[in-house]
Structure 1
Amino acid sequence: MAANREFFNEIINNIDDIFGQSQPVSFKANPIFKTEQGKYLADSLADPLIKALTEIANKRPKDPVAYLTGYLQNFMGERKPAVLVEKKRNGNTLANANSKLTNSRPAADFIEPDARSMNEDDEDGALAAQQLEERDEHGQSMLHFACARSHRRGALYTLIEESRIDLTYRDELYRTARDVALQANQPNNAVEIDRFIIAQAVLGDLEYFEQLALQGYDHILDIEDESGKVIMDVATERQHDTLVGFFNNLRTLEETREELHQTIRDKNMERLKELTAAPNAKWLIKTKNYYGRTALHIAVLKESEEMVQHLVQLSPEALKVTDNLERTVLHYALGTNFCESVSRILIQNGAKRTAKDLKGRQPSYYFINKADILRLQEEEDESR
């Protein structure tokens, strides 16, 4: 994990170079990559990833993630010998050295690596793409690291645009990358993040804003463009009526979510049933608050078997929703002092015992080491 952090930092320190020049950057000579883990990252990811990011920044494809995956697949393909199967020449087939392969496949001029090799390439490409989204054990992403430093204008925006990194990630202190930027006295970085979100409003990307709201991102309606125009007016001017309707309803949704969470803290079962009788009950149960927790997370922390049962029945999908450090509700349940009955409900409804959080811990870890979960219970008590 430490090597990943160093890898992130090295890329972040060179964002202006990566997105500000046409020549690829190589970091292999850096002392960071002299360690065993660092050397592995350098050999397997550093050069191809930087070259890929550079080409993406220059060509600006419509689907940068697909382009990145394809680039890395081609890179890996060049390192593996292609397989010559058979070739027709003047009506005659040149026999392949492997007779079984010749007899089982149709004639072809040239076939790229076989199915197994292609699967390996897919995995390599997915791994490289995942590197941009990966977070360390403290919940910090590449964007968190980037926002703590100053950059040339437009470089951070381009990083977000090309990587499509998740702006809603919260670290162990519940900070988004935007929060980190402001705390690090880098307001321009927060402006770049807001500028990217405004750009999605210009496009009318409703799904993007639905995800921001679902993940509990708390700077949507209050952001402005460079001329001081609020995001609602930006969407209205471009006649994105569906998005405008979503914005109009968003404040009410957020207030209802907070009321639901407070109702659970107060253990008011009657009011809980009233709030979850609404058509958008599933959304209310799955959406996260400032702490990255859902209604089900809070019900587990409050050790309310009745409330947990009710929420799981309405939205079993909430069992898979993780908090800011990717802990599931089962991670929480096994860390409480009265875990048996609640854990049984969760497991019977599909909660995975093998799910790992950002620290690589399965739920059973918290059955023995309860301190972290007990601290979360204290936070919820203080939120009443």
Structure 2
Amino acid sequence: MVKKPKRYYKSEALPHDRRNFIQSDAFLCHSYKSFGILSNDTDLEKLRIHIKSKGESSKGNTNSGNSGHSTIAMQTAMDSTRGNPPPATPQNRDKNGQNVLHFAAARPHGRSAFYRLVEESRSSLSERDDKYRTPRDVASENDLQENVRAIDKYVINLAADGKYQELNELLLDGYDHMVDIDDDSGLNILESAQKKKQYKTVEFLRSVANFEERRDWLHKAIRVGSLPHVQYICDSADVARAKDEHARTSLHIATLCEEKEIMDFLATKYPELLTIGDNFNRIIAAEFCSPS
């Protein structure tokens, strides 16, 4: 009888340090390697989430002839190219998931040059590379505070100009430095929007903390496998599609945690989740997210 891989997803059954580990990238990389999916550490776009199907495991199927449907592996967390090298996106991200802003953020620039690049570039500030870093994170890690301030200035100017829809896109994509930033005069983003009488933007900014808390509770409910809590919390498409600091939506997390019922619920109620990729544009195959 084939020994089932030990699961580490139910957080209530684990010590605190183990719960932290299972949510880390180190655990995911370990999982990929242990299932034989990670063939090359530098070729991250070939990663596949190799997780044993709960339905097949419950049947105790050991027939190697049924290997084509014995796992959710290779089937659920497939990238949009289904095994082929990912095509260049409009943002021209490289194999490490970095766009032009990631590269520029790691280098010093002349006065206002980096801000102009942020303003004119089609690349998103919310995109994360293979280390889950946004361009702002890259600038901060390289101690390039001028670049950090340029990014913050751009975000604050969105608020001052009343562009709350663009701010909302950043929020949904997991950008995590929106309400904790100040401009050169010391005004925070909320005060800047108030000063410009952008009342809709002010209302949006005041809702950010509650939205992030709801997103986090949804993701926690998925990790402990509580479908009733997921159904209660996930009452809008925005909450369902909101990404965490690892660029994962609720459906990505449900797949990683082998929660097939939750996968079915999310994909059925919010089919747009099937088109949203993670930091490497990996999506979930629709045919494996529907009730059997």
Q: TM-score, normalised by structure 1?
A: 0.51
* Aligned match for 1:199, one of 130, 134, 157: 157
Amino acid at match of 1:329: I
The CA deviation at 1:287 is: 0.8
Matches within 5 A, 1:1-16: none
What RMSD, in angstroms, separates the aligned Cα atoms of the two structures? 1.6
Q: SS of the residue aligned with 1:133?
A: coil
The CA deviation at 1:271 is: 1.1
Aligned partner of 2:279 in structure 1 is 324
Distance 2:115 2:253 in 1: 35
Aligned partners of 1:221 and 1:231 also within 8 Å = yes
Relative CO higher for 1 or 2, CA cutoff 8 Å, sep ≥ 6?
2
Aligned partner of 1:297 in structure 2 is 252
Distance 2:213 2:178 in 1: 14
Bigger Rg, which one: 1
Aligned partner of 1:270 in structure 2 is 228
Q: Which has the higher helix share?
A: 1
Aligned partner of 1:229 in structure 2 is 187
Q: TM-score, normalised by structure 2?
A: 0.67
Aligned partners of 1:286 and 1:295 also within 8 Å = yes
Amino acid at match of 1:183: E
CA offsets 1:269-321 (integer angstroms, 9 cap, x no match): 12111112x3xx21111110000000010011111111011111110000000
> For residues 131 and 301 of structure 1, do their structure 2 counterparts lie closer, same or farther at Cα, with a shift above 3 Å needed?
closer
The CA deviation at 1:325 is: 1.0
Aligned partner of 2:173 in structure 1 is 215
Gaps of 5+ in 1: 1-129, 331-342, 350-384
Poorly superposed stretches of 4+, deviation over 2 Å: 343-346
Distance 1:232 1:259 in 2: 25
Amino acid at match of 1:182: S
Aligned partners of 1:132 and 1:163 also within 8 Å = no
Aligned partner of 1:253 in structure 2 is 211
Amino acid at match of 2:273: A
Gaps of 5+ in 2: 1-87
Aligned pair count reads: 204
The CA deviation at 1:176 is: 0.4
Amino acid at match of 1:285: A
CA offsets 1:177-204 (integer angstroms, 9 cap, x no match): 1100111121111111111111111111
Matches within 5 A, 1:307-318: 307-318=262-273
